[in-house]
Chain A
Amino acid sequence: MPSSIRGSALTSRIPGEPDQTRTGEPEFTRTQDEAIAWNSTMGPKTAPAAVEMPDSGDSQRLKDIMDREGLEVQHLTQWQLIRRKFLQHKLAVISLVVLVIIVLAAVFADVLAPYAFDEIDLPNRSRAPTLEGSHFFGTDKLGRDYFSRILYGLRTSLWVALIVSVVSTIIGTVVGGIAGYRGGRIDNFLMRVVDLFLVLPFLAILLILSAFVGQGSPTRVGFILAILFWTGLARIVRGVFLSLREKEFVEAARAAGASDSRIIFRHILPNAMGPIIVAMTLVVASAILVEAALSFLGFGIQPPNPALGKLIADGQDSLVTAWWLVTIPGIFIVVISLAVNFVGDGMRDALDPTQVVK
């Protein structure tokens, strides 16, 4: 081996360290000692003193050194980091609390509602919000307790939103993932399908589908909306997959013999979770709005089942005389949409590893 070239670009020896002789023993004591010396940032000069130790117990010894030198490093897992970053986003945290309260109220509507949502009480028609008789949000034109109707309406609307976001995320991720990972002709074909869905006259299709297939069932309406919402997700997921599949760790995984499905599910998808979760929260917000619009037009949820949009539609003709019929469900729609959007915002910041914890 020509030692003449040594040192041109490489320094194989660290000044101050004893010349290593290759003993041919299988253990890597020297390299390990070296690593210890560097890790404890004590510099190579003092390394020999630090590494005079029995072969076993290196780790314990290093831990002692680190404790003494105050070099303890606090470990944070990925999720701990994400949680910490999310908690710094005040608006997102407040929104999350509000959302949780609203969701719990909807889930436990049976327990919380003072009346049945379709219990007609004609003597108490069109009462303004009052504490009397627990009509917190007043009553509607048929004397039905509006607080109870709102609770059940929330349940319907949130259920629809959940179905829309889950179904459209699954479809969007699968389609976008295949397009982005495979690329080429498959990508082209799938993206043209997405374009096709995007150019459809949204509202007209929705109205026709809901009229013939929806039949007023929240679950069916959710699936119908999902068919129109997955396209945005597919585009986002495709973009993320396109960039991730070129990453070196994907190539490294392939070089280690990983199959396509392993690369997609273990290496790419977890890295794409940030954008996917954020897009999903945004879908929730717009799904609530579109479902409200659909019900408002009379093609969504059918009476007597309440949904937030349906409640507004029913109350619109008495907007002047009974303001609460439109205002209260309206406020809920706005609050839910805003809260979900803020949570999405917070999640995006928290899931982006390039954002530093302050």
Chain B
Amino acid sequence: MAEPVLRVVDFKVSFNTVDGVVRAVDGVSYEVYPRETLGVVGESGSGKSVTVLGVMGLLPKPAGKIDGGEVWLEGENILNLSDKAMQDVRGNKMAMVFQDPMTSLNPVFTVGDQIAEALQIHNKKMSNADAKARTIELLGAVGVAQPETRFDQYPHEYSGGMRQRAMIAMAIANDPPLIIADEPTTALDVTIQAQVVEVFKEIQNRTSSGLVLITHDLGLIAELADRVVVMYGGKVVETGTVDQIFHEPRHPYTLGLIMSLPRMDQQMKRLRPIPGQPPSLINLPSGCSFHPRCSMSGGRAMCRDEVPTLYPVSDDGHASACWYHTEVAHELEIEAALTGIEYSDGKLGGA
């Protein structure tokens, strides 16, 4: 496979708060390849957004601090770059789409101006006319109808879906090799979500960008992602292809996520929510941070005392951070029987 666009190695971020040090990200590693969509899932507070904010160099200062690790963007370790150099990287080599399109556009400028600005920040010599032409092209590319008219409109004249399209247009303006989308559909209603998903698919078809898609919506992951990283308590607990994650999960947390999700394609008898609350990041449980909520741990000393690392469970990159990942296969069968999800050949789900 080609060189990864983004390689995050053993990344650590902590926040100093009045209550103590919060280890929001604790040794996260993942890669994104060109043309690939990496889905990052996890509950709120699992560190998925903080990881990418750290990658972008946008952690809130002075509370947020990078404690260690490496971030390689196209073969360059960008953690060592100066603030000035990072400004050139942001928006040019990697761009971000934020969660809430309602507040991510400046209300006092036209949408066209703002996209053109994103272009001209990184292309100082670009003339206003060229920037406008390119902006109109971009607006058309993300499916904004009548881009010439829309260019001169203000954000309040756009609907939510249109604004998110505009945000995507802004992100792809400079053809960045890496696009990061932080819960891009969370603030949108379902039909608009579907449209935005289509836009992302088309963007991926057209450019060779790698996409990091952060969400807690498993449906979105299933739609868009090629590979998935599941995060819990600031750590990666499982990683694999989208099929592996959904059909053959090897971590009890991933399994719990799937079992707690209502599905249209399955005759489900019941949902099986994960008991308990996400852990406090100030005071993480000892050993495997998921063990107090885990249905499989059963108070075993290994779970309580030893921190598991990612173990490969197959030779094509599927890995799980569970001491007893070999037992998850059996657990699948039990859970499938309880919830009514189809199960055959050690795999979940219909398709």
Task: Give A residues with C-beta under 8 Å from B.
Answer: 1-14, 22, 24, 26, 28, 30-32, 34-36, 39, 58-59, 62-63, 73, 75, 77-78, 184, 247-249, 251-259, 262, 266-267, 270-271, 353
Contacts and interface: CB of A to CB of B under 8 A. Distances in A.
Given A255-B56, A258-B87, A28 B197 contact: no
Which of A62, A251, A256 is most buried by chain B, counting CB atoms within 10 A of its CB?
Answer: A256
B246 A5 contact: yes
Given A78-B154, A249-B106, A3 B351 contact: yes
Contact of B218 (A8, A36, A254, A267): A8
A1 B279 CA distance: 31
A2 B143 contact: no
A254 B90 contact: yes
B121 interface: yes
Interface in B261-292: 261-266
Given A28-B140, A257-B90, 19 more contacts: A5-B261, A5-B263, A6-B265, A8-B263, A9-B217, A9-B220, A11-B190, A11-B194, A14-B194, A31-B198, A59-B148, A73-B157, A184-B62, A251-B98, A255-B91, A256-B170, A257-B87, A257-B118, A258-B87
B13 interface: no
Interface stretch (B199-207, B301-309, B318-326): B199-207
A62 B88 CA distance: 39
A248 B100 contact: yes
B90 A255 contact: yes
B5 interface: no
Nearest to A246: B60
Contact of A26 (B100, B194, B206, B217): B206
Interface string B235-247: 0000000110011
Nearest to B119: A256
A257 B197 contact: no
Contacts of A39: 145-146
A53 to B, nearest CB: 12
Contacts of B254: none
B20 interface: no
A254 B58 CA distance: 8
A12 B194 contact: yes
B194 A6 contact: no
A61 B262 CA distance: 42
Contacts of B220: 9-10
Interface in B66-91: 87-91
A248 B197 contact: no
A256 B95 CA distance: 6
Interface in B82-121: 87-92, 95-96, 98-100, 103-109, 117-118, 121
A270 B113 CA distance: 14
A319 B62 CA distance: 63
B144 A252 contact: no
Contacts of B223: 1, 5-6, 10, 12
Contacts of B243: 1-2
A28 B96 CA distance: 22
17 contacts: A2-B247, A4-B351, A7-B219, A8-B218, A9-B220, A11-B194, A13-B194, A31-B142, A39-B145, A59-B149, A249-B107, A251-B58, A255-B95, A256-B117, A257-B92, A257-B122, A258-B121
- Would you list the 8 A-B pairs with minimal beta carbon distance, nearest first? A257-B91, A5-B222, A31-B143, A256-B91, A9-B219, A7-B264, A8-B219, A257-B90
Residue of B117, B141, B146, B221 most packed against chain A (CB within 10 A): B146
Nearest to A7: B264
A4 B349 contact: yes
A275 to B, nearest CB: 13
A256 B199 contact: no
B262 A8 contact: yes
A289 B146 CA distance: 54
A31 B205 CA distance: 14
A2 B242 contact: yes
Contact of B96 (A7, A10, A255): A255
A262 B170 CA distance: 17
B264 A28 contact: no
A256 B90 contact: yes
Contacts of A58: 145-146
B240 to A, nearest CB: 12
B167 interface: yes
B195 A34 contact: yes
B53 to A, nearest CB: 9
A59 B140 CA distance: 11
B194 A24 contact: no
Contacts of A26: 206
B191 interface: yes
Contact of A28 (B103, B122, B143, B351): B143
Given A9-B190, A271-B106, A1 B222 contact: yes
Contacts of B264: 6-8
Contact of A257 (B121, B146, B185, B349): B121
A270 B222 CA distance: 42
B193 interface: yes
Contacts of A59: 145-146, 148-149
Nearest to A267: B106
Nearest to B121: A257
Nearest to B348: A4
Contacts of B247: 2
A253 B106 contact: yes
A298 B264 CA distance: 85
